[in-house]
A and B are shown apart, each in its own frame.
Chain A
Amino acid sequence: SAVISQKPSRDICQRGTSLTIQCQVDSQVTMMFWYRQQPGQSLTLIATANQGSEATYESGFVIDKFPISRPNLTFSTLTVSNMSPEDSSIYLCSVAGRSSEAFFGQGTRLTVV
């Protein structure tokens, strides 16, 4: 199994500002994933982050709005840029285990005011 630490666990931000969420894994993983869960909805994949290459974004998500870094095999960041109240969500990072299980961080609860 993998232990994932996400920071911050929650934040309240002013519209127009940016927030960077960190995801630290206790083991080396090839692929890390970032999800968003808007209020009352299920998880939606934002992008896949591979070490050494640019992140791959899902339809509806763009790099300018959600830049991602993946400097090594245990760490990734997701930035929510130029925030608006519609960005208020829970953001989760996830990694795939060797037995195809998926592990998730505790999530970052973002409120944009």
Chain B
Amino acid sequence: SQELEQSPQSLIVQEGKNLTINCTSSKTLYGLYWYKQKYGEGLIFLMMLQKGGEEKSHEKITAKLDEKKQQSSLHITASQPSHAGIYLCGADRTKTSYDKVIFGPGTSLSVIP
């Protein structure tokens, strides 16, 4: 069964619009990661969240982890074509550091100029 769910599955937005991608789990997330993947390229690490209620921002991307540590959102402000790609959330399966990461199914984002 899928341990991480992502919504929406795909998204097409006009350049300049804001958007949000969600990642949810039925279990507590010990570490939540957001990655971006472009076609033919490896994963690009965006952000990591560990504490309930934590919020981090980098340029126009903001990620939040809810207090229960079961849901995270990735928000992009004033989207640009360069934001297009597949966004994956990943989570530590256990509390142990350096453990393997499980992934959500991904959200495909297209930004129309």
Point out the residues of chain A lying under 8 angstroms from B45, CB to CB: 101-104
Name the prevailing secondary structure of the A interface residues: strand
B42 near A42 with CB under 8 A, answer no
Mark contacts of A85-113 with chain B using CB atoms, 8 A cut-off: 1 yes-contact digit, 0 otherwise.
00000001010100111111111010000
Point out the residues of chain A lying under 8 angstroms from B97, CB to CB: 96, 100
Point out the residues of chain A lying under 8 angstroms from B104, CB to CB: 42
A109 near B40 with CB under 8 A, answer yes
Point out the residues of chain A lying under 8 angstroms from B33, CB to CB: 101-102
Is B28's CB within 8 Å of the partner chain A? no
Count how many chain A residues have C-beta atoms less than 8 Å from C-beta atoms of the other chain: 23
A10-50 with Cβ < 8 A to chain B: 30-31, 33, 41-45, 48
Point out the residues of chain A lying under 8 angstroms from B50, CB to CB: 100
Partner of B42, one of A30, A99, A105: A105
For this complex, into which size category does the number of interface residues on chain B fall?
20 to 34
B88 near A43 with CB under 8 A, answer yes
Bound complex: CA A41 to CA B50 (Å): 26
B90-113 with Cβ < 8 A to chain A: 90, 92, 97-106
- Using CB atoms, name the residue of chain A closest to B86: A42
Mark contacts of B13-55 with chain A using CB atoms, 8 A cut-off: 1 yes-contact digit, 0 otherwise.
0000000000000000001010100001111010010100000
- Using CB atoms, name the residue of chain B closest to A6: B42
A30 near B40 with CB under 8 A, answer no
Point out the residues of chain A lying under 8 angstroms from B43, CB to CB: 92, 104
Bound complex: CA A31 to CA B98 (Å): 7
Q: Contact residues of B with A, CB < 8 Å?
A: 31, 33, 35, 40-43, 45, 48, 50, 88, 90, 92, 97-106
Pairs A–B under 8 Å by Cβ, sample size 29: A6-B42, A30-B98, A31-B98, A31-B99, A42-B103, A42-B104, A43-B90, A43-B103, A44-B103, A45-B100, A48-B100, A92-B42, A96-B98, A96-B99, A99-B48, A100-B31, A100-B48, A101-B45, A102-B90, A102-B101, A104-B35, A104-B42, A104-B43, A104-B45, A105-B42, A106-B41, A106-B42, A107-B41, A109-B40
* A-B contact sample (13 more), CB < 8 A, given A31-B100, A96-B97, A102-B33: A31-B98, A43-B88, A43-B103, A44-B103, A45-B101, A100-B92, A100-B97, A101-B45, A101-B48, A102-B90, A104-B43, A106-B42, A107-B41
